[in-house]
Amino acid sequence: MKRTFRGDWRVIIEIAPRSTRIPISALGFTGLDSDLDGTLDGSPFEVTIVPRQLGDFGFVSMGDRLVSTDVDGDYRRRCEAMLAELVRKPHVRSGRVECTETHVCSHCDLAWEVLTAGEAADDSTNFDEHSVEGEPVCCEAAIFEFRHERTAAEVSA
């Protein structure tokens, strides 16, 4: 049915400077490019931090799947560890870990979409007279699998 892929892992923190004009170095971030030597306005703002690839060891780089059997879990743990360290800084107000999720059909690899209640009520958007809300719209194989699982669930209930 539906397969989910996660990528573009990132840590997003909200920084709230304590004074109206402070130097970036006062936030405790080290190793920033010298072009960032300015001052920060006192309004809260967000910073997005992208972790390095799992397979990036500095002197050699390889694909994530070569170094991990749980790529999503490892990225999540890496981002959560980064976030835990960042929220200890006095100017970091809050933070969160995010990633981009993509859902595709396991049969046709097209984007996963389902009929809405309005579409299910409109005969022009239905596959046939048996179409219902929540039914996939990408391919016949996904529709038939959905109907088979729905029928099996109704019989066992």
CB 78 within 8 A of CB 55: no
CB 13 within 8 A of CB 148: no
Q: What is the predicted pLDDT for the residue at 29?
A: 62
Its pTM stands at 0.63
Q: What is the predicted pLDDT for the residue at 151?
A: 83
Joined tokens for residue 155: 């019989």
DSSP state of 11: E
Q: What is the predicted pLDDT for the residue at 49?
A: 92
Q: What is the predicted pLDDT for the residue at 9?
A: 92
Q: What is the predicted pLDDT for the residue at 70?
A: 92
Report mean pLDDT in 10-residue bins for the chain, 157 residues: 89 76 61 56 81 88 89 93 91 91 93 88 82 89 89 77
The Cα 98–Cα 102 span in angstroms is 13
Maximum CA extent, the chain: 67
CB 123 within 8 A of CB 132: no
